[in-house]
Structure 1
Amino acid sequence: MSARLWNVNSGAEVTESERFVYQVIDLNPGNATAGGNQTAPISELIRVSGPTTIRLQARRIDAVGAATTAQVYSDSFGYTSLRYERVGS
């Protein structure tokens, strides 16, 4: 899976915000999962001149065949952290 920030007002991706979210490579014929990666944070400074809506978008990418599951993993408390910090007035 990959994720990015999308500026709804401008109808465009927030420049260089795309990140690799998680990957499981499970071509193992047995019961054990083979492979995996960790979540990468998206932290971007976005300059706007007025009210702006920013969305988090995610995309599933299948390298081989079709995946049976796609999800964003949560922490040990069951949460995925999404936050922002307002800078200026």
Structure 2
Amino acid sequence: MAKRRANGEGNICKRKDSRWEGRYTVDRDPESSKVIYKNVLGKTQAEVKEELARAIDDNKGLDIVNAGQYTVGHWVDIWYKNYA
């Protein structure tokens, strides 16, 4: 039986081109309620596992769904408050 990953850890699989892919859920689109996925690629499973964990941590707290509605000034204000 295959080992399952915990909720929120994404999933890792091998692609046909012999690279490894890690996918994780970013958010849901409020209009269509479809899930928004992002992925990371790598040569080894361990590399993808590390990159996937880093990508999930980097995306926590970001509002990906409304990112297209931000102006540059608004985004700089948010960046300054949260990341600087």
TM-score over 0.5 (shorter chain): no
The structure with the largest alpha-carbon Rg is 1
TM range (shorter): under 0.3
TM-score by length of 2: 0.22
The structure that is strand-richer by fraction is: 2
User: Which structure exhibits the higher relative contact order, with contacts defined as CA atoms closer than 8 Å and separated by 6 or more residues?
Assistant: 1
